[in-house]
Amino acid sequence: MHEMSLCEGIISVLEAEAKKQNFARVKTVWLEVGPFSGAEPEAMKFCFDAVTRGTLAENARLEIVTPEGQGFCGTCMKTVAIAERYDPCPTCGAVLLQVTGGEQLRIKELEVV
Amino acid sequence: MCATCGCGHGEVRIEGVTHDTDHFKGFRPAAHAPDVSPARMVQIEQDILSKNNDLAGANRKFFAMRGIFALNMVSSPGSGKTSLLVRTIDDLKGKLPVAVIEGDQETSNDAERIRATGAAAVQINTGRGCHLDAHMVMGALEQLKPAPASVLFIENVGNLVCPAAFDLGEAARVALFSVTEGEDKPLKYPDIFASADLVLINKIDLLPHLSYDMAKAEANVRRVNPRARIMKLSATSGEGLAEWYQWLADPSARAAA
């Protein structure tokens, strides 16, 4: 359940940003959680509610956006969509694609007051 | 109605729904906010792990300044990390200075096993935590004070999921799995194996008693991580350890993968 630590990481980013960008409360947090980020969106939501209690983000809404997993196929010489790290190229069936997208674990944007 | 895409207010964004992904590129949730609200949007684009990554960077600098070769050892519980370290320290005694940071949820049993070899060790107990992070390692370094030009083994909590995301400042990540765990561990836990520089397949002395397909195990590692070096060894019989010791002691052996 490292999602708890990740959510604590979100709070520390929010606290630093609150000082820098001069806001008191966070109403909504938009996260980008890639399929290969190692974090589970449902667990993130569960932990977020627990971790934000008593902080500037108490009762904030958490919106999770899931970018698609992407790999580069050296045979087709193009980027293709993949569901798992080890999926073969959907066009030519080649294996050993280089993962180029889907590892994101980022705070994109905040709605603040 | 949202000016970006025409969706209604309060629409839940669901994982895997392409609608979300499509307008994520020009992501402007401001359009969803009620016009009269004093709320404002703040773009931050920050990695959730940025704080950990900053501390990992500081650890990396600490190691580089002292010529310390730091390894993050990850595996499931019981795959033989501590036994391999005990054997390694014994065999390299007098040849290579070694220090160890031990991570476990509870007990200092592993640090005591390491200290019994004469090597310096510090135990981190993570309590409810399931992984080590860069901050914990930073605290342990103050206690441990590893010698310049030593090898520092950081034995992570036995867990093939959570440690994957946390950079500790290591020079290399070593993932270990034993032949008793089956050939498909890399496919079941791809994130951690994908992040490894070296994969050790341990307990090969037990192969005569098992129906283990080594070629399949290696192919499974390759499927999630084509670049990692793979070594097969046994901390009990000593088979395969020479290659591991050479990799530890000689940077040119590591470069020539």
Which residue from B minimizes the CA distance to A26? Answer: B39
- The per-type count for chain B, helices as H runs and strands as E runs, is 10, 8
> Contacts of residue A65 in chain B, CB cutoff 8 Å?
13, 20-21, 24, 27
Quick: pLDDT tens for B215-229. 999 999 999 998 999
Closest to B19 measured CA to CA, from B31, B4, B32:
B4
B31 CB burial (10 A radius; 0-12, 13-18, 19+) = middle
> Contacts of residue A38 in chain B, CB cutoff 8 Å?
161-162, 164-165, 191
What's the pLDDT at A113? 94
Cα–Cα dist B40/A26, whole Å? 10
**B27 close to A (CB below 8 A):** yes
Quick: pLDDT tens for B54-86. 999 999 999 999 999 999 999 999 999 999 999
What's the pLDDT at B175? 98
Cα–Cα dist A44/A1, whole Å? 9
**Is the pLDDT score of A83 beyond 50?**
yes
Q: Inspect the interface and report whether the beta carbons of A39 and B165 lie closer than 8 Å.
A: yes
Chain A residues 72-111 with a CB less than 8 Å from chain B: 84-86, 95-96, 99, 105-111
> Contacts of residue B44 in chain A, CB cutoff 8 Å?
13, 17, 107-110
Strand partners, B46: A107
| Cβ-proximal residues to B16 (8 Å cutoff; 6+ apart), any chain | A66
B209 CB burial (10 A radius; 0-12, 13-18, 19+) = exposed
Picking from B44, B130, B194, the nearest residue to A17 by CB comes out as B44
The Cα of A46 is separated from the nearest Cα of chain B by a number of Å equal to: 15
Q: How many CB pairs under 8 A join A and B?
A: 121
| Cβ-proximal residues to B215 (8 Å cutoff; 6+ apart), any chain | none
Chain B residues 85-104 with a CB less than 8 Å from chain A: none
**Which portions of chain B are predicted below pLDDT 70?**
1-37, 256-257
Q: Inspect the interface and report whether the beta carbons of A5 and B131 lie closer than 8 Å.
A: yes
What's the pLDDT at B256? 62
Q: Inspect the interface and report whether the beta carbons of A67 and B226 lie closer than 8 Å.
A: no
> Contacts of residue A39 in chain B, CB cutoff 8 Å?
165
The Cα of B81 is separated from the nearest Cα of chain A by a number of Å equal to: 21
What's the pLDDT at A107? 96
**Is the pLDDT score of A22 beyond 50?**
yes
Strand partners, A81: A70
**A17 close to B (CB below 8 A):** yes
Residue with tokens 């999921």: B161
> Contacts of residue B223 in chain A, CB cutoff 8 Å?
86, 95-96
Predicted-complex ipTM score: 0.83
Which residue from B minimizes the CA distance to A10? Answer: B48
Closest to B71 measured CA to CA, from B54, B88, B94:
B88
**Is the pLDDT score of A62 beyond 90?**
yes
Q: Inspect the interface and report whether the beta carbons of B165 and A86 lie closer than 8 Å.
A: no
What's the pLDDT at B17? 37
Q: How many CB atoms lie within 10 A of CB A22?
A: 9
Which residue from B minimizes the CA distance to A40? Answer: B15
Chain A residues 40-69 with a CB less than 8 Å from chain B: 41, 63-68
What's the pLDDT at B129? 83
Mean pLDDT of A74-88: 93
DSSP state of B171: S
Q: How many CB atoms lie within 10 A of CB A25?
A: 16
